[in-house]
Structure 1
Amino acid sequence: MSEKIKKDTRTREEKIKSKFLGAHVSASGGVFNAPINAKSIGARAFGLFVKNQRRWDAKPLTEKDIIKFKEFMEENGYTPDVVLPHDGYLINMGNPDAEKRVKSLNAFIDEMKRCEQLGLKYINTHPGSHLNEISREECLDHIANCINTAMENTEYISVILENTAGQGSNLGNRFEDLAYIIEKINDKSRIGVCLDTCHTLAAGYELKDKEGYEKTMEKFEKTVGFDYLKAIHLNDSKFDTGSKKDRHDSIGKGVLGMEFFKRFMNDARFDKMPIILETIDETLWKEEIELLYSLIVD
């Protein structure tokens, strides 16, 4: 049994201080607005896009934008450890087409460099898709090779692989996919994992009851390892275990059940990392954050 799951003797206040909960907030009007938007919902962490997530190109960040972002980070009490930028939706570093794969790689490097300009620590990415044209292993090799190249062309930013629901030809739904990529990364200090709770359930890993939850956590520890876990996307799911449907829901309104969220919020294995809501109704984010903190017990 891992040291991390021994009986937790801390007070409720100490446990609350260890959970950095927030949401993926808008950066509309400039990246510097993200910390302000996060603070407005009582977030202690946040996610954002550092450029338009549905376009290949974007204007470079200006020095003014960079300075304002860093100022607003400090003013609102955020450090890079609790910020989880997400890369663009068009990027597919597992693309079977070499030309398209290079285009994705270049876009990814650009986003990594933007994060470094902003003084951030992480960039979150979905691994990629084989588009039913190449084998799973060949696709995973492409992804790992691209990440290695991207790291060679950037200074320090860590790449955080997000597990997927397994919809279509997307890889990363199996913990083994994440472990395979990590194994092939040259600089292990710059690679990590973000677990999305909706994706985990949809991919076939049970979370709804205590037995399933512990089996899933044991499987993750054995296959990937909690040392590589750097962030969480905390979402309820519209569809049940193994659906392979990536459909988020608001906290307590999907199939996961409030017992799951209580179990999660009291699990020390998820301390001291950004826990980001991507739930479907942003008007509920403040309420959801308060609800989740209320689930922490002595």
Structure 2
Amino acid sequence: MPLLGAHMSIAGGYYKAVEAAAALDMDCVQIFSKNNNQWRAKPLTDDDAERFRDALVQTGVQKPCAHDSYLINLGSPKDDVREKSIDAFVIELERAEKLGLLGVVMHPGSFLDSSEEEGLQKIVDGLDIVLEQTDGQAVEVWLENTAGQGTNLGHRFEHLAYIIGNVQDSSRLGVCIDSCHTFAAGYPITKPSEYKKTMAEFDSVVGIDRIRAFHLNDSKKEFGSRVDRHEHIGQGHLGLEPFRHIVNDPHFADLPMYMETPKGEKGDDFDAMNLKALRGLIKMKRPAKRK
């Protein structure tokens, strides 16, 4: 059955995110490996990494990943931004490797005042550099499908296929599917027939074996809006049915599924609420954890 968790704060120490996830009985966890709104990063100490890894062992929380900085844009037509983005993403992967993360989720990039084609090729070229500079690492790059807001790339399955198909070495590339983004980008997933058709299209264009993880988020905005606004599970325009399809899909039975739903002032309460909503949709009973 799928592993359910959420994006958790590293305030007070990386291990704190794991402990917070475990306290809510989550199976997996996503973090930022640094301040996501700054280019610079405080050094990741050996002690930080060791305490994080130890917390995973002690709590049983599995399949940790990171989300990259919101500043990174490998598709930028501005050379200085693109160079900073490449350097920053290399650092993200180095930190993830040290922490023992499975992957780093990234928004492919935005083409701004250039063209879609130019943006996609710049992303490919940037990833070639990043992957070469981190050769030998186990941590993967998980391309996230986007809602298509502004000039964001990745909102069409063909964008992801182009990137994966044109990098020199795609062995460390996977995909993270975001339910809100999929819906906002215009891919229907509400009815069983719609979900099956959309997943069949993804399999045909990209390959279902490339999916490494899911972001489970409802949408504040309507279908095809191309606006990225997350909502609590079952309380947005998606409703509960798409999540029922995803968490019971045998293709994804062992994959981590991270919530990025609103936290509010009482983030723990909201996380517990959303986790309960998702677990209530799973047909197979969850085995009890060993104490």
Range into which the TM-score falls when normalised by the shorter chain: over 0.9
Distance in 2 between residues matched to 1:184 and 1:42, nearest whole Å:
40
The residue type equivalent to 1:45 in the other structure is C
Tell me the CA shift for residue 296 of structure 1: 1.7
SS in 2 for 1:279: coil
Distance in 1 between residues matched to 2:248 and 2:50, nearest whole Å:
37
1:34-73 pair list within 5 angstroms: 34-73=17-56
Distance in 1 between residues matched to 2:186 and 2:155, nearest whole Å:
9
1:121 to 91, 102, 105: 102
The residue type equivalent to 1:25 in the other structure is M
- Conserved? CA contact 1:24–1:47, under 8 Å: yes
SS in 1 for 2:171: helix
* 1:200 paired residue number: 182
1:1-298 pair list within 5 angstroms: 18-79=1-62, 82-131=63-112, 133-154=113-134, 155-156=136-137, 157-281=139-263, 282=267, 283-297=269-283
- Deviation sequence 1:102-136 (CA, Å, 0-9, x none): 011000001110001112221110000001x2121
Tell me the CA shift for residue 290 of structure 1: 2.4
Tell me the CA shift for residue 220 of structure 1: 0.6
SS in 2 for 1:253: coil
Distance in 2 between residues matched to 1:63 and 1:293, nearest whole Å:
36
Distance in 2 between residues matched to 1:59 and 1:256, nearest whole Å:
39
- Conserved? CA contact 1:163–1:195, under 8 Å: yes
Normalization by structure 2: what TM-score? 0.93
SS in 2 for 1:200: helix
* 2:287 paired residue number: none
Out of 197-206 and 63-72, give the one that drifted further.
63-72
Distance in 2 between residues matched to 1:295 and 1:26, nearest whole Å:
26
- Deviation sequence 1:167-213 (CA, Å, 0-9, x none): 00100000000000000122222000000000000000011222221
Runs of at least 4 residues of structure 1 off by over 6 A? Answer: none
Tell me the CA shift for residue 297 of structure 1: 1.9
Tell me the CA shift for residue 287 of structure 1: 2.5
SS in 1 for 2:91: helix
SS in 1 for 2:37: coil
Tell me the CA shift for residue 72 of structure 1: 0.8
Normalization by structure 1: what TM-score? 0.90
Q: Which runs of 5+ in 2 are unaligned?
A: 285-291
Distance in 1 between residues matched to 2:22 and 2:61, nearest whole Å:
9
Distance in 2 between residues matched to 1:120 and 1:247, nearest whole Å:
27
Tell me the CA shift for residue 291 of structure 1: 2.4
- Conserved? CA contact 2:21–2:61, under 8 Å: no
Tell me the CA shift for residue 239 of structure 1: 1.2
Distance in 1 between residues matched to 2:281 and 2:38, nearest whole Å:
39
Q: Which runs of 5+ in 1 are unaligned?
A: 1-17
- Deviation sequence 1:47-98 (CA, Å, 0-9, x none): 100000000001111111111111111111134xx11210000000000011
The residue type equivalent to 1:24 in the other structure is H
SS in 1 for 2:74: coil
- Conserved? CA contact 1:55–1:90, under 8 Å: yes
- 1 or 2 for the larger relative contact order (CA 8 Å, sep ≥6)? 1
SS in 2 for 1:23: strand
Distance in 1 between residues matched to 2:24 and 2:125, nearest whole Å:
39
Aligned length: 278
